[in-house]
Amino acid sequence: MTRVAAIDCGTNTVKLLIADLEPDGAAVEHLRTMRMVRLGQDVDRTGELHPDALARLFAALDEYAALIADHGAERLRFCATSAARDARNAADFVAGVQARLGVTPEVVSGDEEARLSFAGATRGLPDGLPGPFLVVDIGGGSTELVRGMAYAPFDPDAPGNAACSMDVGAVRLTERHLADDPPTAAQVAAATADIEAALDAAPVDLSAAGTVIGVAGTITTIAADVLGLDSYDREAIDASVLPVADVARVAQRLLGSTVAERRALPFLHPGRADVIGAGALILERILARTGVEQLRVSEADILDGIAWSLVG
């Protein structure tokens, strides 16, 4: 087996996975961890990575460098997504990563981000699910939609397959529209208009989906709420199947709650409390266009796709 380390650096979180992997699918996971760094702080408004955000990220990477060394990882891939794509001062980000980890971060395109998410989300799906598969990954700065006619790996050139990255995410929409606590009806309407415009322009036909798989922290947190969990339980959330009507109900309640009310939820990470409402709204609007009655939730996501890319 090859011991790999994968890092997914998004707008809100930076995640690390260390695992032993074989190309034939055998895997032994050693570590999976996350830090809330809010790298996308003010990027939508300023076009630059905030110095405080970079400091938070670099502190997390100092921790990760030690963990990677302790575990003896042979290969490392660092992928950065929406916030780093949008920033004018990305050179500061690149230099900081290189100094701490000895690798150059890959600022992946939206399409590559979508392909990696699909690979992570579909690898462990049970046989016999109806296709096409639609993977939904709601991040802080962007949302990825990937429709695949078959299980991973995702072939962007295969008939019927499509992928896109939309510039609507939980942090971006909150900073742009949802200023009040809780947001006003007018603010929600403005955020909804942004989401609907992005979906109208997306080249992925949501109505054709046979199975919808939701990944990443916004969706897994909503799943914890739908399941009525007393704490965040990765095993209970992974592979759960949720009625879309229940997801929509929880999404609207989260959107209408105050930040303090959200922070009191036992399964919700405090770093998501101010932005989970926007993320929930994005999910609710996507599901409304699919026509499916159930949402499958996967704890495997782009981070897993990054890891498997090192041995595939």
Query: DSSP states of 166-179 as a string?
Result: ES--HHHHHHHT--
85 shares a domain with 6: yes
Number of domains in the chain: 2
Q: Is 8 left (phi over 0), alpha (psi -120 to 50) or beta?
A: beta
Report cis status (omega within 30 of 0) of the bond before 183: no
138 shares a domain with 81: no
82 pLDDT band, cuts 50/70/90, is: low
- The CATH number of the domain holding residue 91 is 3.30.420.40
At residue 151, the pLDDT reads: 67
Element (H, E) at 243: strand 241-243
237 shares a domain with 147: yes
149 pLDDT band, cuts 50/70/90, is: confident
177 shares a domain with 48: no
pLDDT(84) > 80: no
At residue 245, the pLDDT reads: 97
168 shares a domain with 72: no
104 shares a domain with 63: yes
Domain residues for the domain of 155 are 125-302
274 pLDDT band, cuts 50/70/90, is: very high
Across 59-63, 113-117, 140-144, 206-210, which has the greatest mean pLDDT? 59-63
Residue 54 Cα distances to 45, 46, 101, 134, 287, angstroms: 16, 14, 15, 33, 34
CA 121 from chain centre, in angstroms, equals 11
What is the arithmetic mean of pLDDT over 303-312?
90
In a domain, 195, yes or no: yes
299 pLDDT band, cuts 50/70/90, is: very high
- The CATH number of the domain holding residue 290 is 3.30.420.150
What is the arithmetic mean of pLDDT over 202-208?
91
Are residues 263 and 36 in contact, defined by beta-carbon separation less than 8 angstroms? no
Last residue of a domain, one of 40, 75, 108: 108
